[in-house]
Amino acid sequence: MAGILSAITLEEAGLTDYTVYEKADRLGGTWRENTYPGLSCDVPSHLYCYSFDLNPEWSRLYSPGDEIESYFERVAAEHGVVSHVRFGDEVVRCVFDEGRWHLTTAGGVHDDVDVVIAATGVLHHPKYPDIEGLDSFGGAVFHSARWDHDVALEGRRVGIVGTGSTAMQIVSAIVDRTAALSLFQRTAQWVMPAVNPAYTEEEKAAFRTDRHLMEGLRDSVAQLFDHFSDGIVDARSPEMAMIERFCLDNLENSVTDPELRERLRPDYRAACKRLVVSTNFYEAIQRPGAELVTEAIVRVERDGVFTADGRLHELDVLVLATGFQVDAFVRPVSVVGRDGVDLDAVWVDRPEAYLSISVPDFPNFFMLNGPNGPVGNFSLVEVAELQIGYIMQLVERLRRGDGREISATHAALARFEAARVAAAANTIWATGCRSWYLDDRGIPAAWPWPFRQFRAQMAEPEWEAYELRS
């Protein structure tokens, strides 16, 4: 998504001497790697797409993953950027020396470039749980982002570890295909109710002929998400109270068995962890073959999962829906900036970047969806579009010859981080839950202000935050 976006933006700016490095053999990123049953985006499709390539063909309000992948592939092809992609080779090292970046790939290619845009993804490196005996499992075991489609689910006993959005989507999609389904829950989740209607042929035809219809729809969804962001960045806001009410009503009204309802009831506030948006998770977990397991996992054995109550849950398939290493960003690429400064050393405590885009001493190196940006139930496409617009303004200064090296100053990053950490204390993420939004200090690693403030900041750089060197 972000790499294709960068390529299209560079083309449009007339900067045609660029290469997109893609270690896989196809485009699609997240939507290529995640192929699990039920995969969909939980941002409505008319917002989860590029503003310059609205898509009248979306099948549903929330379209499935393979449709999203096809969309990105089509857009890349139609904008003629695929020939610029070097597939099947991983960038392993970027070193800044004498005003240029020197890139090395795993395949031994060396390239010298003026500017690096790191569009390496956010939820990209799967995180595996540290469970004793995982290797001893006699059935099939795989991470949700590495789904093994050779493994049949029909009539089999399937266990799912994790209760994030992915796990919930999988449960809803497969519960009726399995002989038995066990969902191993460490933490209960708030579930935002949703409907997912298909677009009719008439609606699609109208979208095709009248772009304003799609724009209007996109704007209204964006406004809803703005209200949502107003809520999560202010835990005491009326918007937050409304979100909590929706989730609570959903739990109360959808789960009939009081004992199950209590086990599904989180002990923290809604949206403290990333909200699960689902049309039918509660219905699925109440199906006859489904079981919610809330006893802690002690170990995995050859025949299944052994829990703290002394029970062995016999399984044929074990799915690890345990998320991603969210603080990797461009790593494990070795990035060495000015005067030999190593990004691994700079980020030894935690990753930081001015406005999530630029790191001091790493000139002409810009990140899309970098550290501490807007995350959580937003359209990261919208985020990346705003960021690339901002980055292009930095690049324009180089292009105009105002300097050869541009990066945020240390003072700007320190000021930004101080303000960000202070504001983060007011967000819903800081209200006492364990989540992947929190850094090693327990501080939300995210943009803690309303989304419209992000839009405003991305509109034009504050130039005093940057150092230009010739």
Ligand X SMILES: Cc1cc2nc3c(=O)[nH]c(=O)nc-3n(C[C@H](O)[C@H](O)[C@H](O)COP(=O)(O)OP(=O)(O)OC[C@H]3O[C@@H](n4cnc5c(N)ncnc54)[C@H](O)[C@@H]3O)c2cc1C
**Does 319 help bind ligand X (rule: CB under 6 A)?**
no
Question: At closest approach, how far in Å is the CB of 12 from ligand X?
Answer: 18
Is the CB of 62 or the CB of 184 nearer to ligand X?
62
- Residue bearing tokens 């109440």: 286
Q: Which of 9, 55, 63, 120 binds ligand X (CB under 6 A)?
A: 120
Q: Are strands 116-118 and 365-367 parallel, antiparallel or unpaired?
A: parallel
- Of 342-401, binders to ligand X (CB under 6 A) are 368-369, 378-380
Asked if 187 and 16 touch (Cβ cutoff 8 Å), the reply is no
Number of residues in contact with ligand X, rule: CB under 6 A? 29
Q: Which residue in the set 7, 76, 91, 276 belongs to the binding site for ligand X (CB under 6 A)?
A: 91
Q: Should residue 166 be labelled a site residue for ligand X when binding is judged by CB under 6 A?
A: yes
Chain residues 203-242 in contact with ligand X, contact rule CB under 6 A: none
Residue 71 within binding range of ligand X, rule CB under 6 A = no
Residue 124 or 397: the one with the smaller Cβ distance to ligand X is 124
Least CB distance from residue 120 to ligand X, whole Å?
4
Q: Quick check: 161 binds ligand X (CB under 6 A)?
A: no
Contact flag: residue 30 with ligand X (CB under 6 A)? yes
Is 24 among the residues that bind ligand X (CB under 6 A)?
yes
Within 199-342, strands assigned E span 276-278, 290-293, 297-301, 304-307, 312-314, 317-320, 334-336
367 by DSSP, 3-state: which? strand
CB of 24 to ligand X, least distance (A): 5
| Cβ-based neighbour number of residue 436 at 10 Å | 19
Q: Indicate the residue among 45 and 307 with the shorter CB distance to ligand X.
A: 45
| 3/64 with CB nearer ligand X | 3
Does residue 29 interact with ligand X by CB under 6 A?
yes
CA distance 405 to 278: 46
The residues pairing with 20 across neighbouring beta strands, listed in sequence order, are 85
- Minimum distance, C-beta of residue 258 to ligand X, in the bound complex (Å): 32
Decide: is 9 part of the binding site for ligand X (CB under 6 A): no
- DSSP H or E run through 294: none
Judge residue 38's burial from the number of C-beta atoms within 10 Å of its C-beta, 0-12 exposed, 13-18 middle, 19 or more buried.
buried
CB 268 within 8 A of CB 433: yes
Upstream peptide bond of 363 is cis (omega within 30 degrees of 0): no
Euclidean distance between CA atoms 229 and 376, whole angstroms? 9
Q: Which of 34, 229, 322, 407 binds ligand X (CB under 6 A)?
A: 34
| Closest residue by beta carbon to ligand X | 29
Separation CA 2–CA 6 (nearest Å): 6
266 vs 374, which CB is nearer to ligand X?
374
Among 122, 131, 174, 235, binds ligand X (CB under 6 A): 122
Query: H or E element: which one contains 184?
Result: strand 180-184
- Contact between 173 and ligand X by CB under 6 A: the answer reads no
Cβ of residue 138: shortest distance to ligand X, in angstroms? 28
Q: Provide the minimum distance between the beta carbon of 225 and ligand X in the complex, in angstroms, as a whole number.
A: 10
Q: How far apart are CA 238 and CA 274, in angstroms?
A: 19
The answer to whether residue 13 forms part of the interface with ligand X (CB under 6 A) is: no
99 DSSP 8-state letter = T
Phi, psi (deg, nearest 5) at residue 306: -100, 125
Q: How far is the CB of 189 from ligand X (least distance, A)?
A: 15
Question: CA nearest 303: which of 316, 320, 292, 291?
Answer: 316
Q: Which is nearer to ligand X, 88 or 403 (CB)?
A: 88
119 binds ligand X (CB under 6 A): yes
Segment lying near ligand X (by CB under 6 A), choices 22-30, 261-269, 439-447, 454-462:
22-30
Rule CB under 6 A: say whether 42 interacts with ligand X: yes
Q: In 270-294, which positions are buried (b, 16+ CB within 10 angstroms) versus exposed (e)?
A: bbbbbbbbbbbbbebbbeeebebbb
3 binding ligand X? (CB under 6 A):
yes
Q: Does 64 bind ligand X (CB under 6 A)?
A: no
* Site for ligand X contains 6 (CB under 6 A): no
Helices and strands (H, E) in the chain, number of each type:
13, 20
Check residue 20 for interaction with ligand X (CB under 6 A): no
Work out how close the CB of 166 gets to ligand X at its nearest, in angstroms, rounded to a whole number.
5
Long-range contacts of 33-36, Cβ-Cβ distance < 8 Å, separation of 24 or more: 33/124, 33/145, 33/146, 34/65, 34/144, 34/145, 34/147, 34/166, 35/65, 35/66, 35/147, 35/149, 36/144, 36/145, 36/147, 36/166, 36/169, 36/170, 36/173, 36/319, 36/321
Counting contacts by CB under 6 A, is residue 21 touching ligand X?
Answer: yes
Q: Out of 174, 293, 333, 438, point to the residue binding ligand X (CB under 6 A).
A: 333
Q: Would you count residue 90 as binding ligand X (CB under 6 A)? A: yes
The DSSP H or E segment spanning 302 is none
**Binding interface with ligand X (CB under 6 A):** 1-3, 21-24, 29-30, 34, 41-43, 48, 90-91, 119-124, 166, 333, 368-369, 378-380
